[in-house]
Amino acid sequence: MLQRWSAARSTLNHAYECERLARVLANAQRHLDPGLEKPRPDPRPQQQVARQWRRPHIYSPEEVSNILDIARAYPSPRAPLRPISLYTMLVLAYCAGLRLSELARLNLSDVDLQSGSITVRETKFFKSRILPLSDSAVAALREYLEARRRAKAPQNPDSGLFWHDQGGTRYSSQSIAWILVDILRRAGIKPPRGKIGPRIHDLRHSMVVNRILEWYRAGINPQERLPFLATYLGHRDIHSTLVYITVTQDLLQQASERFHRIGAHCLHVSEGVQP
């Protein structure tokens, strides 16, 4: 019956409803017969529905500049290191595309100012990677590390990079999420309440779109660089990276101009020759 119902419609939402019902029925069967093997859930229908209804927000340079300014001025009289900590978190989220959990797990030893890179260890898909950073991101890290030292934060290599001067420990991914979302609300980018509106994770989407735009402007074929981008983001393959490519008007314009320069001549037909 479930198979017939699943075949009745082909929408993403229907596939998600079928997957949910399959889990409920499987649990009911295991109550009747505990010896039955628990089926492995398929997360893809739910992920596809979420992507369909929650289109990523691609931050404009003005929006990014605004939230960085708000982070710098974040009111924190009892934790004076917090504003520059939030500023540096946002710089890494936007410039390096780091996930919130990756920000929370960074250690002091993961920063190499001499080579201008950070090491992200054992994150999603159990991968570690060394990420080269832009000069501006390295400058932000250098300023933060000096402020962190003046705040008398622990200097042992395995101490958390983002150290909370009031709690005396590293920020958790939950506390990072809460406080960065508060910055989005203060910037007027996200509504005062609820889960609707742009997310912090959308900075990662924005990083991908802006990197592809820069490749277009530099005359580089983005498709040739996708494997490198996938590695930088910590993805298993380029298929996961493709999810982050949100088509914007700027991206369409750059793609159109590239096609005009490289491929438009292929459409020209010699005079008197019918296509």
Q: SS3 string of the chain?
A: CHHHHHHHCCCHHHHHHHHHHHHHHHHHHHHHCCCCCCCCCCCHHHHHHHHHHCCCCCCCHHHHHHHHHHHHCCCCCCCCCHHHHHHHHHHHHHHCCCCHHHHHHCEHHHEECCCCEEEECCCHHHCCEEEECCHHHHHHHHHHHHHHHHCCCCCCCCCECCEECCCCEECCHHHHHHHHHHHHHHCCCCCCCCCCCCCCCHHHHHHHHHHHHHHHHCCCCHHHHHHHHHHHHCCCCHHHHHCCCCCCHHHHHHHHHHHHHHCHHHHCCCCCCCC
Catalytic residues: 99, 124
